[in-house]
A and B are shown apart, each in its own frame.
Chain A
Amino acid sequence: DVKVTQSSRYLVKRTGEKVFLECVQDMDHENMFWYRQDPGLGLRLIYFSYDVKMKEKGDIPEGYSVSREKKERFSLILESASTNQTSMYLCASSLIADSYNEQFFGPGTRLTVL
């Protein structure tokens, strides 16, 4: 079974703090994604990566950055957390060679910024 794990299920931070969300997948997938999930808005893509050290902006990259130093790990960074970044954050991975493009998701991190 593909496993995508995220470092925390719940996180509470203060405004202005630097926040790191970590994601690890164990199936040698090339693609990795960070989404945020908000009620009524579905999933919105923040950043994605096709390979180590490569990153592409998604639909809502403002206020976020990412790091992919190793193939299995994709980190989302909130440089200076703000209350409007309170959300559920989901990481996913997929195989480039998979023509069906199935993405495998982690359990999510619910971040609250006070």
Chain B
Amino acid sequence: GDSVTQMEGPVTLSEEAFLTINCTYTATGYPSLFWYVQYPGEGLQLLLKATKADDKGSNKGFEATYRKETTSFHLEKGSVQVSDSAVYFCALDDNQGGKLIFGQGTELSVKP
């Protein structure tokens, strides 16, 4: 079946460092891809999305490009802030009536 694999955390960075969180997927069709973020004590919220190959999603300085050839959707940010500390989830829409399949989550901790 469809699945999502993320790099393991926790990831610890200093403020203003470059961030990459790897995400790869397995899917039989052409899924939409998402990054959700969960700040401490809160539910998940959508960070960015891409619906077809070569699309780039972006929001709050974060970017991810839908790479069909490598089945990847890596999350990047050029300069992280302490406020970016959170758990990040990669997900895909399996085109079966609104269900999402989530990766295991990657915890990011940014130190001042």
Contacts and interface: CB of A to CB of B under 8 A. Distances in A.
A31 B105 CA distance: 23
**Interface size of A as a range:** 20 to 34
B99 interface: yes
A104 B103 CA distance: 17
Given A43-B89, A101-B93, A90 B43 contact: yes
Contacts of A41: 104
Interface stretch (A13-21, A65-73, A74-82, A105-113): A105-113
B44 A105 contact: yes
A50 B97 contact: yes
B98 interface: yes
27 contacts: A31-B97, A37-B105, A41-B104, A42-B105, A43-B89, A43-B102, A43-B105, A58-B99, A90-B43, A90-B44, A92-B44, A94-B98, A99-B51, A100-B32, A100-B49, A101-B32, A101-B93, A102-B34, A102-B46, A103-B44, A103-B100, A104-B45, A105-B36, A105-B44, A107-B41, A108-B42, A108-B43
Interface residues of B, number: 23
Interface of B: 4, 6, 32, 34, 36, 41-46, 49, 51, 89, 93, 97-100, 102-105
Interface string A22-66: 000000000101010100111111001010000000100000000
Residue among B6, B51, B100 with the highest chain A CB neighbour number at 10 A = B100
Given A42-B103, A107-B42, A100 B51 contact: yes
A20 B44 CA distance: 22
Contacts of A106: 43
A80 B84 CA distance: 39
Given A43-B105, A101-B98, A105-B43, 5 more contacts: A31-B98, A33-B99, A92-B43, A102-B46, A108-B43
